[in-house]
Amino acid sequence: MNIPVKVFIGIGSNIGNSLENCEIAVERLKRLEGFFVRKMSSWYRTEPVGFKEQEWFVNGVVMGDSLLDAESLLRELQNIEKEMGRVRKVKWGPRVIDLDILSYGDQLIHLPHLKVPHPELPNRRFVLEPLCEVDPDWRHPLMGLTACKMLEKLPCGEQRVERIDVV
Q: Catalytic one among 100, 124, 125, 135?
A: 100
Q: Catalytic one among 45, 65, 69, 86?
A: 86
Q: Reduce the DSSP state of residue 145 to 3 states and report it.
A: coil
Question: Residue 167: what residue type?
Answer: V
Q: Catalytic one among 28, 95, 124, 125?
A: 95
Strands (E), 79-138: 98-104, 109-111, 114-116
Catalytic, 86? Answer: yes
Catalytic, 69? Answer: no
Catalytic center residues: 86, 95, 98, 100
